[in-house]
Chain A
Amino acid sequence: MEHLTILQFTGVVFAGSVLAGLLGALTGLGGGIVVIPMLTLLFGVDLRYAAGAALISVIATSSGAASSYVKEGYSNLRVGMFLETATTTGAVIGAIVTALMPKSAIAVIFGVVLLISAALSFRRHIEPDPHEPSDPLATRLRLDSDYPTPHGRTPYHVHGVPPAFAMMFIAGTLSGLLGIGSGAVKVLALDWAMRLPFKVSTTTSNFMIGVTAAASAGVYLNRGYIDPGLAMPVMLGVLVGALLGARLLVRAQSQALRMVFAAAIGALGVQMIYSGLRGMP
Chain B
Amino acid sequence: MSQRPGWTDQDVEERVGNLLRIGLQIATTVVVVGAAIYLARHGGEPPEYRIFHGEPPDLRGIPGIIGLVADVRGRGIIQLGLLILLATPVARVVFSVVAFAMQRDRLYIGITLFVLLVLLYSIVGTYV
Contact = CB atoms under 8 A, between A and B. Distances in A.
Interface string B20-31: 110110011001
Interface centre among B35, B49, B112 (most CB of A within 10 A): B49
Given A67-B18, A77-B96, 7 more contacts: A59-B85, A66-B17, A70-B13, A88-B122, A223-B60, A226-B82, A233-B35
Contacts of B108: 78, 81-82
Interface string B79-111: 100110110111011001001000000011001
A91 B127 CA distance: 13
Interface string A80-106: 011011001101100110000000000
Nearest to A176: B122
Contacts of A218: 86, 119, 121-125
A275 interface: no
Interface range on chain A (Cβ under 8 Å from partner): 35 or more
Nearest to A52: B55
17 contacts: A5-B46, A6-B47, A49-B52, A60-B24, A67-B21, A81-B112, A84-B93, A92-B118, A207-B92, A211-B89, A215-B118, A217-B86, A224-B53, A228-B34, A229-B75, A232-B38, A235-B85
A228 B59 CA distance: 8
Interface residues of B, number: 69
Contacts of A216: 122
Interface in A226-250: 226-233, 235-236, 239
Interface in B61-93: 61, 74-76, 78-79, 82-83, 85-86, 88-90, 92-93
A130 to B, nearest CB: 17
A210 B111 contact: no
A231 B24 CA distance: 15
Given A63-B23, A77-B96, A214-B89, A7 B43 contact: yes
Given A96-B128, A219-B125, A7 B61 contact: no
B86 A9 contact: no
B103 to A, nearest CB: 10
A219 B10 contact: no
A75 B12 CA distance: 11
B44 interface: yes
A232 B31 contact: yes
A16 B83 CA distance: 24
Contacts, number: 211
B45 A210 contact: no
Contacts of B13: 70-71, 73, 75, 77
A236 B32 contact: yes
B27 to A, nearest CB: 7
Interface in A47-83: 47-49, 56, 59-60, 62-64, 66-71, 73, 75, 77-78, 81-82
Contacts of A210: 20, 88-89, 92
Contacts of A48: 52
A229 B38 contact: yes
A150 interface: no
Contacts of A207: 92
Nearest to A55: B86
